[in-house]
Amino acid sequence: MENSIDSGASKITVIIKDAGKSLVQVIDNGTGMPEEDAALCFLRHSTSKVETYEDLESIMTLGFRGEALASIASVAQVELRTRTMNDELATFIKIEGSEEVERSKVAADIGTSVSVRNLFFNTPGRRNFLKSNQTEFRHIYDTFVKLSVANPDKEFELINNDDKIFDLKSSSAKERIISIFGKDFSDALIDVDHKNEKVRVFGFISKPNFTKKTRQDQFLYLNNRYFTNKNLNFAVYSGYDDLIEKGDYPSFFLFIEIDPKKVDVNVHPSKMEVKFEDESLAFGTIRKSVKESLGKADLVFNVGFSNTLSLGGDSESFTFTQPSRESRDTPATRHERHWQDVSPKGRIGS
């Protein structure tokens, strides 16, 4: 999927069978590869994404190591079908355990399809380490979601054993989140967009009353690449300050943009962690962006209330409580809750 995105595809289809154990196929309508590249792409360290030493310092593609296809081809039966706009026919290459076993020309649309069959067919020991179908499916699902959240302009489809799990059309970032995570999110999100001369943080955070007991819907991206960092999650929580109780977790979808020279995305084998030249700058900017966005949202609520109600006290300290997930934040319920939940301290629901 990362390769498809890097190839400029606007539509990416993922087809899996048996939670990926018998088939994972990714089809895209990107640039495709000419035959000479198609013949090379399964070799270790073959990449088209780094040309100069400087490129290595300013990686903006999702891939750059030239390892993914080589690793996959060494442990599965792989079929590549790829065609560029300059070619009449597609190149078809079949590889089994790193060995090319077939090459031909076939009819196909412009773009690339990679089918990975019978994962670990040649290393049965590793096959036994695959988890249950449910768990393996969950891994694929999570990966699919992470990439589709970051690329709302592209179409994504996920088909599992002929069931269409997702059929995501090109949309705005917010619509993409709602189509993946459900309508509950349509009233729950606050816009974030904050910038200083070194870092930009944008995306969405959930309203303080829309929290969960788990950290499941928390997404951080660096230069449009998903990554994990507990410290920066904490930066988000700290931006909420005492608007959320301990043990409650906000949802967030935050995109951090930093000069790629100031970060190293190469420190982790699966690229899940990144190293910042100055992590405290990222921390401070995230915290500030969350605080500022909550402040703006809160300001809107308070203006609304002060027009109609006389609540007394310090209106800036008003926050909303956490209703059950069923009760959603509409303007009407917000007003109602304000009346019901004002505690003696002036803080709501504490």
Ligand X SMILES: Nc1ncnc2c1ncn2[C@@H]1O[C@H](COP(=O)(O)OP(=O)(O)OP(=O)(O)O)[C@@H](O)[C@H]1O
Residue with tokens 């190839």: 7
Helix (H, G, I), strand (E, B) or coil at 48: coil
Total count of residues recorded for the chain: 350
Position 49 contacts ligand X (CB under 6 A): yes
Position 97 contacts ligand X (CB under 6 A): no
Position 31 contacts Mg ion (CB under 5 A): no
Smaller CB separation from ligand X, 64 or 204? 64
Closest to 101 (Cα-Cα) out of 79, 131, 133, 122: 79
The residues, ordered by sequence, that sit 6+ positions from 136 with a Cβ below 8 Å of its Cβ are 19, 20, 21, 130
The separation between CA 205 and the C-alpha centre of its own chain, rounded to angstroms, equals: 14
Helix, strand counts (H, E) of the chain = 10, 17
| Chosen residue from 10, 39, 55, 68 binding ligand X by CB under 6 A | 68
Position 3 contacts Mg ion (CB under 5 A): yes
| Chosen residue from 10, 22, 48, 122 binding ligand X by CB under 6 A | 48
Position 322 contacts ligand X (CB under 6 A): no
Smaller CB separation from Mg ion, 214 or 270? 270
The backbone region for 246, taken as left when phi is positive above 0, alpha when psi lies in -120 to 50, beta otherwise, is beta
Which 181-210 residues touch ligand X, going by CB under 6 A?
none
Q: Which stretch binds ligand X (CB under 6 A): 65-73, 129-137, 179-187, 253-261?
A: 65-73
CA angle 189, 190, 194 (to 5 degrees): 140
Tally of CA atoms within 13 A in the half-sphere of 77 that contains its CB: 9
Shortest separation between residue 33's beta carbon and Mg ion, angstroms: 12
Position 65 contacts ligand X (CB under 6 A): yes
49 binds, among ligand X, Mg ion, none (CB under 5 to 8 A by kind): ligand X
Shortest separation between residue 66's beta carbon and Mg ion, angstroms: 8
Position 68 contacts Mg ion (CB under 5 A): yes
Q: Which stretch binds Mg ion (CB under 5 A): 59-67, 258-266, 276-284, 323-331?
A: 59-67
Pairing of strands 111-117, 211-212: unpaired
Binding site for ligand X (CB under 6 A): 2-4, 7, 28, 30-33, 37, 41, 46-49, 63-70, 112
